Amino acid sequence: MGWLGATTGFSFLGEGGFSPLHNGLFPPKGRPSKWLILVFLLLFQFHGECLAWNTASHPYISQRAFSTLPEDMQRVLDPYLDIILRASVVPDVILMDWPNHELNILDPSSDRDAAPNRIASLCSEITKELGNEDRDLAKVAYYMGLLSHYLADINQPLHTDNSSAEESWIHPAFEMDVLKHQTEISLVSTGTSFWVSPKEMTRATARRANAYYWPIIHAYTNGNGWKDVKDIAALNFQRAVDDVHDIWLTLWLLANPKELPAIALKVNQKEFKSGDTLRIEMSTLVSAGKLQEADIYIVIVADNGRYWFVGNGGSLLVSLPIPWMYRQEISSEVGIDVFSMSLDPGVPTGGYTVYGVLVTPGAFPLQKKLWLSNPAWVSFDVTGG
Ligand SMILES: [Zn+2]
């Protein structure tokens, strides 16, 4: 599908833009008010939320994940950050509960429930403690550090299988190479996915990492070692940081019902060129067992001021403030496809931001007091070539 929407099956009804020359506060009858849309977008921008590895890599992963949490969460937990970082190595140096550090998804003889169970039980401990009236944040921090370790380990491809072809020197060699180069890995967020079902998502994480198991083995046995795997390492390292960020944030929100329902957005890449497919995914989070109806608004804004509301479940881009979906029953769900399109050469290069919010059904989306959720956003770039 083309960005400019000329192709079949894709309607493009117009393109928005902010004109500084707009000559009145009120729009002519029958036309959407660009001024109101600008207010809407500014409200998004100024809302509070500004939006296994070597043992020694774990505090770095935890630290990076922590640094991308919402400011209010960081402010509360910052006095306990040391505990988080120290706890992130405890599974390797004190607990040594190895079955919890791996998930050999293709090997029926290995314990494939240990890691998902361990991760899920730490999640319950954290939400339980956060929900206590006299909550002990030192304890929360300790569990967050442990959780960070196990989850990061499951993102390490070599922790997802145990073939006899994997010579024993490869594992420590790869982890040492990652440790040596970890600060060169440029970590860029592509948004957030809520961890709505820790056991299932732990298994999905292992399956995702497992795709890189054999490429790593081959690179070290008969390839160029680190040189061949540095991109693979960077990708999985980034995913480890993202997962730790996402799971911590999810637990924090679940323990703070006034923050719910919540919405999060994720894009499939940070940088796109023509021919690439842009995919926007959404996840939503509600208080346990509490369903709520909402209109879901998604808008893509280019740095040059143009904007497009994503309408009709993702098949329409328009400058009118229409919802992506009307009256949706919101539940805790992850991986909801919001929008997908292949970027053709006509796509203007530059920065883009996707915004999303849940709004009271039928309400005008520009009235912030009728928003049911936080506003979520994620940025990406379209480059030439
Ligand atoms: Zn470990």
Q: Pick from 124, 317, 156: which is nearest to 237 by CA?
A: 156
> pLDDT at residue 36 above 50?
no
pLDDT at 346 over 90: no
Residue 249 has pLDDT above 90, yes or no: yes
- For the entire predicted model, the pTM comes to 0.86
**Rounded distance from Cα 323 to ligand 1 centre (Å):** 44
Q: Which domains can be identified in the chain, with CATH numbers?
A: 11-31+260-382 (2.60.40.2550), 55-257 (1.10.575.10)
In angstroms, rounded to a whole number, what is the distance separating the alpha carbons of residues 358 and 119?
30
Residue indicated by tokens 């997908």: 340
- Summarised one tens digit per residue, pLDDT across range 60-118 is 999 999 999 999 999 999 999 999 999 999 999 999 999 999 999 999 899 999 999 99
Q: How far is the CA of 96 from the centre of ligand 1 (A)?
A: 8
Taking residues 278-284, what's their average pLDDT? 98
* pLDDT above 60: residue 214: yes
Bridge partners, residue 354, by sequence: 300, 378
Determine the longest span between alpha carbons in the chain, in angstroms: 73
Angular region, 151: left φ>0, alpha ψ -120 to 50, beta rest: alpha
Mean pLDDT of 316-325: 95
**If you measure from the C-alpha of residue 97 to the centroid of ligand 1, how many angstroms do you get, rounded to a whole number?**
9
Question: Ligand 1 centroid vs 203 CA: distance in angstroms?
Answer: 16
Q: How far is the CA of 326 from the centre of ligand 1 (A)?
A: 45
Task: Check whether 145 has a pLDDT greater than 60.
Answer: yes
Q: How confident is the model at residue 291 (pLDDT cuts 50, 70, 90)?
A: confident
pLDDT at 17 over 50: no
Question: How far is 186 from 38, CA to CA, in rounded Å?
Answer: 33
Is residue 159 over pLDDT 70?
A: yes
Is the per-residue pLDDT at 8 higher than 50? no
**CA 148, CA 118: separation in Å to the nearest integer?**
12
